A and B are shown apart, each in its own frame.
Chain A
């Protein structure tokens, strides 16, 4: 067995405690509550839609990373799994951002006719 395989074996034997999973779960709940507060703040004109979008997206990104890293075990797992997931995830994000920019941010590219 190579040293890298030994490392994988060690990682897969290290099971986080149930308390750790509950803490991550509680964190996800808190972040979701904050997201909803972000929405309510915009609805009640406490801040602009742009600021609300930034707040909500940042909280959403934190939730995304927490689930992928700890519940899907990407953080302790082999880096090849991370690469296989992150590359298409980034590609998908790029398509979403690109389409949003084309249709909402760069007005000359939108004809007005769907």
Chain B
């Protein structure tokens, strides 16, 4: 059955599609994808936690007493706290963008999709600065267990944010061209699911990597 025809008079409503579950298959598939991502990040975080505090040489994440000397930790908590706020703001912007599309408010959709992409880019900028700073401080993928697990975990998250920013820019272009009306609500909802999931993963990474010693 043609999708647009299947939607009928309830264009934004996937529940009217004739599937075994009565739910839109794209949304169901996307939640399944998010479930698989939970397992991916679960394994990365588990590896980080297993090796947490087991590095035999520096740089260390937090302040350490080595042979009676205080060795300063490498993590920049103020910068990461700022980028965490930015990512949370992007989630607020994303849900407002979805709200705008659902209500047919094109201006709101453009404004908030742009804000989401901008906040995501700022977050990535902070991460690039952090990685570059760590590299100059001698922390690489190969320097110690902290470096290996930290870069793999936060790097994978950063890659997901990058994909999300590209996704948001694509939607923004569609919104500017007037091709993101209320009938496209599900497309924006799925993009929102992806973006919020990336935020949720950071909600787990931020305390485990940065705040808890």
Chain B residue numbers with a CB within 8 Å of A35 are 206-207, 211
Chain A residue numbers with a CB within 8 Å of B53 are 104
In the complex, whether A76 has a CB less than 8 A from a CB of chain B is no
Chain A residue numbers with a CB within 8 Å of B50 are 99-100, 102-103
Chain B residue numbers with a CB within 8 Å of A60 are 203-204, 206-207
CB within 8 Å for A80 and B21 given contacts A36-B81, A95-B46? yes
Q: Is the CB of A72 within 8 A of B43?
A: no
Contact-residue size bin, chain A (C-beta under 8 Å from the other chain): 35 or more
CA distance A78 to B25 in the complex (A): 13
In the complex, whether B180 has a CB less than 8 A from a CB of chain A is no
Stretch at the interface among B82-90, B134-142, B162-170, B171-179: B82-90
Q: Is the CB of B38 within 8 A of A104?
A: no
In the complex, whether B52 has a CB less than 8 A from a CB of chain A is yes
CA distance A10 to B91 in the complex (A): 25
CA distance A25 to B90 in the complex (A): 10
Q: Is the CB of B38 within 8 A of A85?
A: yes
Chain B: which residue is nearest A8 at the CB level? B15
Chain B residue numbers with a CB within 8 Å of A67 are 91, 196, 199-200, 203
Name B's interface SS.
helix
Chain B residue numbers with a CB within 8 Å of A98 are 46
Q: Is the CB of B88 within 8 A of A32?
A: yes
Contact-residue size bin, chain B (C-beta under 8 Å from the other chain): 35 or more
Q: Is the CB of B41 within 8 A of A92?
A: yes
Q: Is the CB of A114 within 8 A of B49?
A: no
Chain B residue numbers with a CB within 8 Å of A103 are 49-52, 54
Q: Is the CB of B145 within 8 A of A114?
A: yes
- Binary interface profile of A, 1-42, with partner B (CB < 8 Å = 1, else 0)? 110110011001101001001101100110010011011001
CA distance A96 to B204 in the complex (A): 11
Q: Is the CB of A32 within 8 A of B81?
A: yes
CB within 8 Å for A9 and B203 given contacts A39-B77, A49-B213, A81-B28? no
Chain A residue numbers with a CB within 8 Å of B10 are 9
In the complex, whether B32 has a CB less than 8 A from a CB of chain A is yes
CB within 8 Å of B: which residues of A? 1-2, 4-5, 8-9, 12-13, 15, 18, 21-22, 24-25, 28-29, 32, 35-36, 38-39, 42, 49, 52-53, 56-57, 59-60, 63-64, 67-68, 71-73, 78, 80-81, 84-85, 87-89, 91-93, 95-96, 98-100, 102-104, 114
